[in-house]
Amino acid sequence: MKEVIHTDLAPKAVGPYSQAIMTENMIFTSGQIPIDPKAGKIVAETIEAQTEQVMNNLKAVLATAGVGMDRIVKTTCYLADINDFAAFNGVYAQYFLENPPARSCFQVAALPMGAKVEVEVVAVR
C-alpha cells in the first residue's frame, strides 16, 4: 500500500514529488522549506522564523496523515549555513521536548528558493 498525502495547509509541491507518502506503517515526507502556504513564497527572513515555518509545514503534513510530531523517528536537516546551527536547534528543540527523533543535520551548498533551512522526516503510524 502506498498513499499520497496532500494538504493545502502546507506548501504545494514545486516539482514532480508528493508532500508525503504513507505506507502501512510509515510516513515519509519530502523536504519542507519555509514557504508560507498562504503566500506561496518564503516570507520569513531569519533562521528562527524559517525553521518555525518549516516545522509548522511538517506538522500540517503529518496531521493530514493522522499523526503528530511525537511519531517522528528520524529527521534530516539541511542548513544553508552551518553557523545557523545553534539558532536552528533552539527552534527545532521546541518541537521535541521528550524523546527526540534520530537526526542528521548538515550544511549544503544551496537550498531551493534561497531558503536557509529544509527538513524532511520519517514517522511511524
Q: Which ranges of 5-119 does DSSP label H, i.e. alpha helix? A: 47-64, 85-93
- Which residues are registered as beta bridge partners of 26? 124
Question: Is the separation of the CB atoms in 11 and 44 below 8 Å?
Answer: no
SS3 content of the chain, % helix, strand, coil (to 5): 30, 30, 40
By annotation, the residues acting in catalysis are: 105
**Amino acid, res. 95:** Y
Q: For residue 57, count CB atoms less than 10 angstroms from its CB and return exposed for 0-12, middle for 13-18, buried for 19 or more.
A: buried
